[in-house]
Structure 1
Amino acid sequence: MLDINHILVVLDSEHPEQIALDKALWLAGRVDADITLLTAVYEPYAGENASLDEETRVRIRDARTDATQRWVDSFLPELESRGLRGRSEVHWQKHLHNAVIESMRHTDFDLVIKGTAPHSLMDRIFTHTDWNLMRHCPAPVMLVKSPQPWQHNRVLASVDATSNDEGHRTINDNILQYAEHLADHFETDLHLVNAYPQIAIAFAMVPEVSAPDDIQKYITEQHELACEQLARRYNIAEDHIHIAEGETLDVVTQVAKETAADLLVVGSVGRTGIAGVLIGNTAEQLVDKVPCDILVIKPQDGVPAAADAE
């Protein structure tokens, strides 16, 4: 589960720089993994429902696919020059995330790497490659913001330490196992961050209900104990445990900045529907908040792909 032997790199021909490839070259060299370069190409007027005759559609499709294949293959010499094993795939797909899902039906990749940039609300609704990969890709997804190797040697794992839900406990273990694995491979410091709720604010919203005495102290102690137990299990130093009161999004963002983390490892349960678009998961909101790369882990190493292609 944790060995990184096969890395899938998602290339986007619309972006002039392929920062995912640069980061993947560095990572693969450190863990001795092979790399598959993948992209998608599609022309609506050459699709199955287009008005053109079949022969013309096939010629257009072949020409576009061949040109895109040559573009992807142009990156392979860089892999060879570094002594890395590589190959390429071009898929006739309207959306990049569908190409990734299709590829993973035939190959078990241990890690998917893609470059990312700040997203607007319109991006979330209409340009949803990142969100679909985070929610549906059956492998951990690393969204990278810089082509440079990690500079500060710090991996930050975000957990919900006191959750009794089996799904969250599974995610916690997956997050920390993967974070520990990366920390060992790259000889980085492993940090843990956990946010706990502001009970005073919650009770202030229902003034007819009085907060029990010392409830905040009890909650704080429970989170401290749970984090200490996780830290011992995953060899995290005591001074690398960060626990703070507040919203998870705010606490994790602040700690990522304060620790100068190179990578944030988080979990996602894959919220869907209109709530997923307008609200999103904490992991998805963190992508645009933290200054570092982010690695998204899902329960059971992934969730089934959804029919969200249009």
Structure 2
Amino acid sequence: MMDYKKLLVVVDPTTDKQVALARAVKLAKQNNASITVFLSIYDFSYEMTSILSGHEREAMREGVIAQRKAWLTDVVKPFEVDITIETEVVWHNRPFESIINQAIEGKYDVIVKGTHEHDKLKSVIFTPTDWHLLRKAPVPVLLVKDHDWPVAGKILCAINVSTEDPVNNSLNEQIIKHARNLAKEFNAQVHLVNGYPGTPVNLAVELPDFDSQTYSETIRIQHHQRTKELAALYNIPNDCCHVKEGLPEDVIPDVAEKLDAELVILGTVGRTGFSAALIGNTAEHVIDSINCDLLAVKPEGYKSPLESL
């Protein structure tokens, strides 16, 4: 389902500028969609106030929630022009779990959340909540930065053509379908980016007869060919295909900056443990270096580990 008919917006209580809500309103108006603005709050001190009875602690919690609901109503008011916005405040000690649970139970199509900008470097600093959402949310996650989505802008799809396994193919397909859908709504242009590995230095050193030039050329041709084949399936012109030697975390931000893309779409496979740390490291470099929004999508049929809890 590529239509964003139900948007779950995660609000940031630490800032006055709600970039995620502004972006969601723009998306919702294009889709005639509904928006729920969501806030997860928790204060450990309320749980630990042993001199209070359980009933009194509950009353304090309800008081804090009521205050936050009133604040949220004020936050959404300026955005409620030709659109109705629901609000939801939940008491939960793990924000990412409450967000994902809300997305699952409410059958939302996309989670929209603002990112933190690091003033000194102007790069995006992702919080633990962002990382959990990228890995575990069963719906697409749009992480928003304060960067315009101009008319006739550019959407950059980070694809992987180094392997042809079904999960990878499904991810490439999902990424491009989301891009095409958004491109249609915002009159944008879809671009593909692919980074391919250079010659492993140890091979060249350990095998004196190893022809590194031929090896590099073979890899280059293969990646160009596969990217063009994928582009042809979706009528994406060759001049919108960007295939470069290098690691994805270097190639993707570089191309995004040169194009002045408003959105980078990449796939996340929701792994956990050691492989997640490796993937997280790559993704972290990519998204800490781009100066635009990021949409993370899962392969078709992905189930969140929280869905079985």
Under a length normalisation based on structure 1, what TM-score does the superposition of the two structures give?
Answer: 0.88
- C-alpha distance in 2, partners of 1:277/1:73? 38
CA shift for structure 1 position 298 = 1.4
Q: Which residue of 1 aligns with 2:21?
A: 21
- C-alpha distance in 2, partners of 1:177/1:257? 22
Please show how residues 1-310 of structure 1 align to structure 2 within 5 Å.
1-47=1-47, 51=50, 52-81=52-81, 83-118=82-117, 127-146=127-146, 148-150=148-150, 153-201=153-201, 203-204=203-204, 206-207=206-207, 210-211=210-211, 214-273=214-273, 276=276, 280-300=280-300, 302-305=302-305
- C-alpha distance in 1, partners of 2:92/2:103? 14
Post-superposition Cα deviations, 1:55-89, rounded to whole Å, max 9, x if no partner, equal 211111010010111111223433432x1132111
- C-alpha distance in 1, partners of 2:102/2:298? 19
Q: Which runs of 4+ in 1 moved over 4 A?
A: 274-279
Residues 263 and 170 of structure 1: CA distance in aligned 2, closer, same or farther (over 3 Å): same
1:4 touches 1:110 (CA, 8 Å); kept in 2?
yes
My pick for the range that moved more, 134-143 or 208-217, is: 208-217
Post-superposition Cα deviations, 1:26-49, rounded to whole Å, max 9, x if no partner, equal 1211222111100011121323x6
Report the 3-state secondary structure (helix = DSSP H, G, I; strand = E; otherwise coil) of the residue aligned with 2:280.
coil
- C-alpha distance in 1, partners of 2:205/2:117? 33
1:9 touches 1:37 (CA, 8 Å); kept in 2?
yes
2:147 touches 2:291 (CA, 8 Å); kept in 1?
no
CA shift for structure 1 position 15 = 2.3
- C-alpha distance in 2, partners of 1:289/1:94? 30
CA shift for structure 1 position 183 = 0.9
My pick for the range that moved more, 185-194 or 104-113, is: 104-113
Residues 59 and 147 of structure 1: CA distance in aligned 2, closer, same or farther (over 3 Å): farther
My pick for the range that moved more, 92-101 or 34-43, is: 92-101
- C-alpha distance in 2, partners of 1:67/1:213? 66
Q: Percent identity?
A: 32
CA shift for structure 1 position 131 = 0.3
Post-superposition Cα deviations, 1:74-130, rounded to whole Å, max 9, x if no partner, equal 23433432x11321111111232122112123211111111102579xx77xx4011
Counting matched residue pairs gives: 301
Report the 3-state secondary structure (helix = DSSP H, G, I; strand = E; otherwise coil) of the residue aligned with 1:38.
strand
Residues 63 and 181 of structure 1: CA distance in aligned 2, closer, same or farther (over 3 Å): same
- C-alpha distance in 2, partners of 1:139/1:213? 43
2:152 touches 2:186 (CA, 8 Å); kept in 1?
no
1:26 touches 1:149 (CA, 8 Å); kept in 2?
no
1:117 touches 1:288 (CA, 8 Å); kept in 2?
no
What amino acid sits opposite 1:91 in the alignment? V
2:195 touches 2:248 (CA, 8 Å); kept in 1?
yes
- C-alpha distance in 2, partners of 1:301/1:183? 24
- C-alpha distance in 2, partners of 1:289/1:207? 36
CA shift for structure 1 position 234 = 1.6
CA shift for structure 1 position 275 = 6.4
Residues 150 and 144 of structure 1: CA distance in aligned 2, closer, same or farther (over 3 Å): farther
Residues 91 and 239 of structure 1: CA distance in aligned 2, closer, same or farther (over 3 Å): same
- C-alpha distance in 2, partners of 1:29/1:22? 11
- C-alpha distance in 1, partners of 2:205/2:299? 33
Under a length normalisation based on structure 2, what TM-score does the superposition of the two structures give?
Answer: 0.89
Report the 3-state secondary structure (helix = DSSP H, G, I; strand = E; otherwise coil) of the residue aligned with 1:65.
helix
Post-superposition Cα deviations, 1:243-296, rounded to whole Å, max 9, x if no partner, equal 011111111111111111110000112343366458724333311111111111
- C-alpha distance in 1, partners of 2:57/2:13? 22
CA shift for structure 1 position 146 = 0.8
CA shift for structure 1 position 218 = 1.7
Residues 202 and 227 of structure 1: CA distance in aligned 2, closer, same or farther (over 3 Å): farther
- TM-align CA RMSD: 2.5
CA shift for structure 1 position 149 = 3.5
My pick for the range that moved more, 159-168 or 53-62, is: 159-168
What amino acid sits opposite 2:190 in the alignment? L
Unaligned runs of 5+ in 2: none
My pick for the range that moved more, 49-58 or 252-261, is: 49-58
